[in-house]
Amino acid sequence: MTTPIRIALVGMGKIARDQHVPTIQQDPVFQLVATVSTSGGSVDDLPAFASLEALAASGVAVDAVSLCTPPQVRRAIAHSAIDQGWAVFLEKPPAATVSEAIALRDHARARGTGLFASWHSRHAPAVEPARVWLADRQVLDASIIWAEDVRQWHPGQDWIFEPGGFGVFDPAINALSIATQILPQALFVEGAAIDVPSNRGAAIAADVSLRTAAGAPVHARLDFLQRGRQRWDIAVRTNDGDLLLSDGGAALSINGDSLSVADALHGEYAGLYRRFAEIVPAREVDMDLAPLTLVADIHLVARRTEVDAFDW
């Protein structure tokens, strides 16, 4: 494996420019060598291609790719990248469906190629301290509030409301990725109600009932129309006190007392790329599908309600 790892970005939307580009540029382990985008645009003077096939045919030396496309088209692109022998970093959610993600996992293992289903919120600074504190305690119940304004965080991104675009579950899967990381037992879906705008194909809000394997109830309120203060909070009541993980995993309090954690909310992607740097040379497959499976289960049991049309 070369050092630095030569990496190409596929999909040059907001998340690629806001997170992936600066993280790669600041990490000496990686060298950004090309971009791929159907809408054009690149970074600095790097070679830019309209398709993965064009990149493969160009002769540009590549060791790995990060896929930042909408999930609906990701499986075919990732499959082709694996066929090229390139390690693949998948933005969350890793695929549009569970079966697509499983197929990619199996294909990467068969080809001996690295594959990483990234969950950036698990790398927020307070998540690991929360997991450690909860590990030897009995969870009595928990609540999740994931409420943000889609117009602020995904302005004009119609794909997010198309089938396979996840709607409110695009941000809410971050909450599920944290919950499945910090809670000591597995989570199961008991029921859900989802609201879908009359002119859209994916949910804009949801109310979800879950339960841990040990029987503790977990309630989640998910909202894509939050005004004012945005909320990304997980509260857990235990037999030995209460935990509050807030600001998307950036802040932690125990029994009302704030704990000091590193200010690394915008360093989540640095943690992801540190992990990917291990995966690439080891040709490892790191693909935890628990958050994606929960989203699929929610839709299997949910009562669907049509609500007012949504427009930007």
Instruction: Using the predicted structure, report yes or no on whether residue 129 has a pLDDT greater than 80.
Output: yes
- 3-state SS, residue 150: helix
| Residue for token pair 């291609």 | 49
Instruction: Using the predicted structure, report yes or no on whether residue 179 has a pLDDT greater than 90.
Output: yes
* 223 belongs to a structural domain: yes
* 312 belongs to a structural domain: no
* 221 belongs to a structural domain: yes
| Residue for token pair 């289960």 | 297
* pLDDT for residue 264: 47
**Residue percentage of the chain with pLDDT more than 90:** 92
- 3-state SS, residue 146: strand
- Element (DSSP H or E) covering residue 152: helix 150-153
pLDDT tens digits for 258-304? 987 765 445 799 999 999 999 999 999 999 999 999 999 999 999 99
User: Per the omega criterion (within 30 degrees of 0), is the bond before 93 cis?
Assistant: yes
Instruction: Specify the amino acid at residue 310.
Output: F
* pLDDT for residue 260: 73
Catalytic (active-site) positions: 92
pLDDT tens digits for 68-103? 999 999 999 999 999 999 999 999 999 999 999 999
Same domain, 135 and 63: no
Count of the separate structural domains present in the chain: 2
Looking up residue 67, the CATH number of its domain turns out to be 3.40.50.720
* pLDDT for residue 45: 87
Looking up residue 133, the CATH number of its domain turns out to be 3.30.360.10
Average pLDDT over residues 228-240: 97
- Element (DSSP H or E) covering residue 299: helix 290-301
- 3-state SS, residue 121: helix
Q: To the nearest whole number, what is the mean pLDDT of the chain?
A: 95
| Residue for token pair 């090309």 | 34
pLDDT tens digits for 150-166? 999 999 999 999 999 99
| Residue for token pair 């194909």 | 201
Instruction: Using the predicted structure, report yes or no on whether residue 3 has a pLDDT greater than 90.
Output: no
CB neighbours of residue 3 within 10 Å: 12
Same domain, 112 and 155: no
Same domain, 67 and 180: no
| Residue for token pair 């197929």 | 103
Same domain, 86 and 130: no
Expressed as residue numbers, the domain containing 163 is 121-262+296-307
Same domain, 42 and 131: no
Number of H helices, E strands in the chain: 10, 16
